[in-house]
Amino acid sequence: MSAVDMPASQRPTTEAALAKPPRRPANMGQIIRWLLLFLGGIAMVMPIVYMISTSLKWPHEVYNINLIPEEPTIENYTYVLEDGRFYWWFVNSIIIATVTTISNVLFDSLVGYTLCKFKFPGRQIVFIAILSTLMIPTEMLVIPWYLMSQSLGWLDSYWGIMFPGLMTAFGTFLMKQFFESVPDDFIEAARIDGLNELQIWWTVAMPLVKPALAALAIFVFLGNWTAFLWPLIVTNSVEMYTVPVGLSGFGDEADVAWELIMTGAAISTIPTLIVFLVFQRFIIRGVVMAGLKG
């Protein structure tokens, strides 16, 4: 008896199987969730929209709340880009954020790797000591840092701006946790193959934690790019300012030039976008496990 002669009720229910599952009506909870997300999205985008909008306005229109400038102008951009100061701040910020990022990626991971993969007496204490520095806020540290920079002659220099951030407890902690996912077998296999410990770290362990390194690089770059308090305190001369410090002083004492600040801010988001686009490619999960059992 073929399927066709069967009474309809017994026929294999192809139609039923092919039919799309009935669309679930979106329930109330879901609608509320979407609404909240939507509002959150607006709240996050608005400042950026206003930043760009203000940067296209003439000074007299700055305190007007409208989103579309009445007479859009790129005058502000020409002014900021031709102003030598902004150029200097931009270069300063690039140098500082880049050097700090490289330093963190190298040294945080070196220390994190050591704490993770080597058993030595006092290891736990060192780790706890590093972690505990996370509990001290920057505001408490700037005065000791300042006094230290002063006595060492680091005030108003790149080194002075950078030294507190060249390594971070957070980065060390992050890297230590990620190195836990690198199997010891990988390291021991390399040891048997004759690599020294530094080579193992660099050629075996580091490539396996690329996603973490990329995340760390993004964090550190953004953190240093937007850092304000410490660079403000440690710098004196206008040529040593970073972008945030310099921008905050745009205009003269009496009149803050918001349109210029917003223009500078808009330009200064470009490197952060580039960094994010470059490094997020590496944030691919599951790289480590691929070499283990299938």
- Only segment of 100-108, 143-151, 203-211, 243-251 that touches other proteins (CB under 8 A): 203-211
CB of 202 to other proteins, least distance (A): 12
CB of 284 to other proteins, least distance (A): 11
Closest CA to 246 of 98, 75, 97, 88: 88
Using H for helix, E for strand and C for coil, what is the string for 138-163? HHHHHHHHHHHHHHHCCCCCHHHHHH
Does the protein bind other proteins through residue 122 (CB under 8 A)? no
3-class secondary structure, 24: coil
CB of 156 to other proteins, least distance (A): 43
Does the protein bind other proteins through residue 283 (CB under 8 A)? no
- Only segment of 2-10, 48-56, 192-200, 244-252 that touches other proteins (CB under 8 A): 192-200
| Token pair listed for 260 | 């210029």
| Token pair listed for 150 | 């002063």
Q: What is the DSSP letter of 8?
A: G
Does the protein bind other proteins through residue 121 (CB under 8 A)? no
Does the protein bind other proteins through residue 185 (CB under 8 A)? yes
Using H for helix, E for strand and C for coil, what is the string for 163-206? HHHCCCHHHHHHHHHHHCCCCHHHHHHHHHCCCCHHHHHHHHHH
Q: Which of 192, 254, 273, 277 is the binder for other proteins (CB under 8 A)?
A: 192
Q: Which residues of 226-263 are buried (b: 16+ CB within 10 A; e: fewer)?
A: ebeebbbbbbeeeebbbbbbbbeebeeeeeebbbbbbb
Does the protein bind other proteins through residue 288 (CB under 8 A)? yes
Of the two residues 77 and 186, which places its CB atom closer to other proteins in the complex?
186
CB of 188 to other proteins, least distance (A): 5
Q: Which of 131, 141, 195, 232 is the binder for other proteins (CB under 8 A)?
A: 195
3-class secondary structure, 251: strand
Count the residues of the shown chain that bind other proteins, applying the rule CB under 8 A: 22
Q: Which of 145, 158, 181, 191 is the binder for other proteins (CB under 8 A)?
A: 191
Does the protein bind other proteins through residue 194 (CB under 8 A)? yes
Does the protein bind other proteins through residue 287 (CB under 8 A)? yes
CA dihedral (63, 64, 67, 69) in degrees, to 10, reads -100
- Measure Cα distances from 276 to 43, 50, 68, 218, 220 in Å: 21, 22, 28, 6, 11
Place of tokens 């006092």: 122
Does the protein bind other proteins through residue 292 (CB under 8 A)? yes
Does the protein bind other proteins through residue 20 (CB under 8 A)? no
CB of 171 to other proteins, least distance (A): 22
CA–CA gap between residue 24 and residue 288 (Å, rounded): 39
Does the protein bind other proteins through residue 12 (CB under 8 A)? no
CB of 121 to other proteins, least distance (A): 13
Does the protein bind other proteins through residue 170 (CB under 8 A)? no
Query: Are the CB atoms for 245 and 43 separated by under 8 Å?
Result: no
Q: Which of 22, 113, 186, 220 is the binder for other proteins (CB under 8 A)?
A: 186
- Only segment of 75-83, 85-93, 179-187, 267-275 that touches other proteins (CB under 8 A): 179-187
